[in-house]
Amino acid sequence: MPREPRPFREGLLSLDPPRLLGSRCPACTVTSFPARDFCPGCRAAEGVERAELSTEGRVHSFTVVRQAPPGVEVPYVLAWVDLPADDVRLMAQVVGTAPEEVALDMPVQLELTPFGDADEGLLGFRFRAGVAA
């Protein structure tokens, strides 16, 4: 029996609405993903707040993965994605277009995706190409 959907790692994302969860320092305004208990910018250990991050990003750089462990479909695109509204860069898979169509500065949109065994109800994230950002 399938379980209720939940993030594959607690505190990584919210499901409704779908958002990545990071942290923001009120002292220096540095935003981090994943969330941290201290600020990597100014090293403040107090006052760091949890923050919902933007769902729109742009491809900063990417690679096409052509070899993977058994059971993982190839080729797929792994990219550094910038979330300009939050000044955050993170690594994620990019889907929704052929690998040869992915380009630098391509707009992408956050989407949730099943992670691991479907019966566990775990959700992860990736970005879908071609959505205005």
46 Cβ contact partners less than 8 Å away, ≥ 6 residues apart: none
Prior bond to 114 cis, omega within 30? Answer: no
> Rounded to two decimals, what is the model's pTM?
0.89
What are the structural domain ranges in the chain?
Answer: 11-53, 55-133
Per-residue pLDDT of 5-64, as tens digits, reads 888 888 899 999 999 999 999 999 999 999 999 999 999 999 999 999 999 999 999 999
Cα–Cα distance measured from residue 49 to residue 79, given in angstroms and rounded to the nearest whole number: 27
